[in-house]
Amino acid sequence: MELGTLTLPKSYWRKLAAELESRLAGQESLFAADATIVEAADTAMKHYHFVQTKAQEKQQRHEQRELVTVDLQSVSSSEHRSLGPELVAHAFWERLELNQILQDCGLSAKQQALAQAVVIGRLVAPSSDLASWNWLRNQTALVELLPVDLSNICKNAVYEIADILLAQKDRIEKALRNQEALLFPSQTTLFLYDLTNTYFGGQCKNNTLAKRGKSKEQRADRPLVTLALVVDQRGFPIFSRIYGGNQSEPQTLPEILEHFHIPEEPHLFAQEQPTIVMDRGIATKETIQLLKSCGYPYLVVERRAVEKEYVQEFEQVKTTFEPICHDSTSGTVYVKKLPWENGSRVLCLSTGREQKEQAIDALKEERFLQDLGRLQASVAKGNIQLAEKVGERVSRLKERYPSIASHYDIVLQLDDSRKKVTTVTYSMKESRAKRHTLTGCYVIETSHRDLAATDIWRLYTTLTQVEEAFRSIKTDLGMRPVYHQQKRRTEGHLFISVLAYHLLICIEKTLIEQDDQRRWSTVCKALSTHQRSTIIITDDQDQIHHIRVSSTPESAHQEIYRLLNVKDPLKRKHKVVAKRL
């Protein structure tokens, strides 16, 4: 045995030799209790096994090698295809047992393979369905990982598989939730619910989902479609739903409550019903009452400005509230718990939010006063004097700056005829000081009475998980824009993005378990240089050899594959294709 550098004292060598001899013979050692001997033996055996393994690999290579004389000047390569991201996505597709889930839904082997291709395409190269078809044919090695040959698939099949998956949406989402609960065990205590919308790439006049509404991406120039999503406290999807772009958010809650999917394995969930956490866009008095009547625990910030009821309490934040040191974005958060009906209310002030809102308010107020000053100057110069016209200008100012204009009294001084405006004056209301006091303030209402104020606030901040899900679906998974002209195809497009998100969240959570905080987009970019190619060589008999082979993973690739426990299942393929004339 090659022991390498031996630091053990010479007086221990005989004992070490006996220990190694015992291990090689498969016998128990007399010196196992001596930690120094055991440590030195472990190191020696590790080196021994490494040398043995390398020797066996070398012998195997010699036995399997094919030796031919080749013309080095003839070496070239072609058909380079992306492999790295696809290996990871394919591995997690199999861990989620999606083929079995789709088989249980009645999909054939070819449909299962096509579904995998389309969903992984959305994850690896997010784009339109047409672009996914081109990617599948010309850019990816994914087709080599599939059990069914899809190399010559027509583009209509890409659209049709989305329709097939959409028809099984509820069964697929429920099965995925159960499988994710098995892979990533956790007692689910929260359901986080929110909605987002995105815009269409055209007018979509025949698409009943394409509606004008308030765009969360500031795209008021385009019709919209809305995605509702429920996730747990770690970001794993529970249920999704698709609505028109003008959907009222509070009106979606009754239907969502009917479709909550609890895993069939009850031990995977907390014994009590999960608490429903919602953004203030959904939390009206009516929706809160609905949660109460259905017996759901809840935690919300109500849509109306409840903080106005607690001005006196917020004036004493620094002396009566409990501080929570958060982060550089939120700054310090101050909280105070108060009893409310059968639950609690927690008054919150975020210094980070306060600074942000004050900056926004200051900018709006500055622009409002500038526009108001320009109107005063126009009236003074006589450029505009008719009371009707001046009133219209004032109304437009109030529409443009509603949050600021409501705190100012604007008075129009009229001449004796009561038809012309002579001057425009304004004054600040007392409510402006009240607004300043409440800047950065909000009130969390919950059915929980026993939780501390800090615990309630931390539960509410988990809503960032659903916001993060929306960011991934929109940015990383090609949800926007939507180009489909039909309702069914639009729903299919969005559902494909949701399925891709299931893969994405599983990949990212696996990395987090390994203390790696990288996002999927970073991992995908790092793996993009791991490819599969065809090497072309000509031998001394003028035979042309094609060798299909995966490139050797670089150190960055190997590290990611190690963390995710992913291996390349593709074998080297060799064939003689022709003879050079």
pLDDT in tens, 69-100: 999 999 999 999 999 999 999 999 999 999 99
Pull the structure tokens for residue 563.
């963390």
pLDDT at residue 31 is higher than 60: no
Burial 459-498 (b: 16+ CB within 10 A, else e): bbebbebbeebbebbbebbbbbebbbbebebbbbbbbbbb
Residues 552 and 455 in one domain: no
Q: Is residue 260 part of a domain?
A: no
Q: Is residue 265 part of a domain?
A: no
Q: Is residue 414 part of a domain?
A: yes
pTM for the model stands at 0.80
Residues 307 and 446 in one domain: yes
Last residue of a domain, one of 439, 459, 479: 459
* For residues 258-282, average pLDDT: 66
Burial class (CB in 10 A: 0-12, 13-18, 19+), 123: buried
CB-based contacts of 55, cutoff 8 Å, min separation 6: none
Residues 441 and 326 in one domain: yes
Residues 451 and 311 in one domain: yes
Q: Is residue 181 part of a domain?
A: no
**Are the C-beta atoms of residues 196 and 469 closer than 8 Å to each other?**
no
Cα 480 from Cα 473, distance rounded (Å) = 9
Residues paired with 579 in a beta bridge: 543
Cα 51 from Cα 43, distance rounded (Å) = 13
pLDDT at residue 179 is higher than 70: yes
As a whole-number percent, the residues of the chain with pLDDT over 90 amount to 49
Q: Is residue 268 part of a domain?
A: no
Residues 75 and 43 in one domain: no
pLDDT at residue 271 is higher than 60: no
Q: Is residue 373 part of a domain?
A: yes
CB-based contacts of 170, cutoff 8 Å, min separation 6: 259, 261
Cα 149 from Cα 153, distance rounded (Å) = 8
Residues 441 and 568 in one domain: no
Residues 432 and 329 in one domain: yes
Q: What separation in angstroms does the CA of 112 have from each of 146, 172, 371, 551?
A: 9, 12, 61, 28
**Are the C-beta atoms of residues 300 and 444 closer than 8 Å to each other?**
yes
| 465-508 residue pLDDT tens | 888 988 888 888 877 788 888 889 899 999 999 999 999 999 99
Last residue of a domain, one of 414, 431, 459: 459
- Whole-number CA gyration radius for the chain: 33
**Are the C-beta atoms of residues 230 and 252 closer than 8 Å to each other?**
no
Residues 437 and 355 in one domain: yes
pLDDT at residue 346 is higher than 90: yes
Residues 455 and 549 in one domain: no
CB atoms within 10 A of CB 45: 15
Q: Determine the distance from the C-alpha atom of residue 533 to the mean position of all C-alpha atoms in its chain, rounded to a whole number.
A: 32
pLDDT tier for residue 268 given thresholds of 50, 70 and 90 = very low
Residues 397 and 430 in one domain: yes
Pairing of strands 190-199, 573-579: unpaired
351-381 vs 387-400: helix crossing angle, rounded to 10: 170
* For residues 307-332, average pLDDT: 84
pLDDT at residue 264 is higher than 60: no
* For residues 114-118, average pLDDT: 95
- Rounded to the nearest integer, the mean pLDDT of the chain is 88
pLDDT at residue 261 is higher than 50: no
CB-based contacts of 123, cutoff 8 Å, min separation 6: 85, 89, 476, 477, 500, 503, 504, 520
Q: 548 vs 272, which has greater pLDDT?
A: 548
Structure confidence at residue 272 (pLDDT)? 62
Q: Which domain holds residue 56?
A: 10-64
Cα 470 from Cα 513, distance rounded (Å) = 22
**Are the C-beta atoms of residues 508 and 542 closer than 8 Å to each other?**
no
Q: Is residue 44 part of a domain?
A: yes
pLDDT at residue 263 is higher than 80: no
Q: Is residue 176 part of a domain?
A: no
* Number of domains forming the structure of the chain: 3
3-state secondary structure 90-156: HHHHHHCCHHHHHHHCCCCHHHHHHHHHHHHHHHHCCCCHHHHHHHHHHCECHHHHCCCCCCCCCHH
Which segment, 96-100, 196-200, 278-282, 433-437, is predicted with the most confidence on average?
A: 96-100
Residues 430 and 548 in one domain: no
Last residue of a domain, one of 64, 87, 106: 64
Helix-then-strand count for the chain, H and E: 22, 15
Residues 310 and 420 in one domain: yes
User: Tokens 């994914």 — which residue?
Assistant: 142
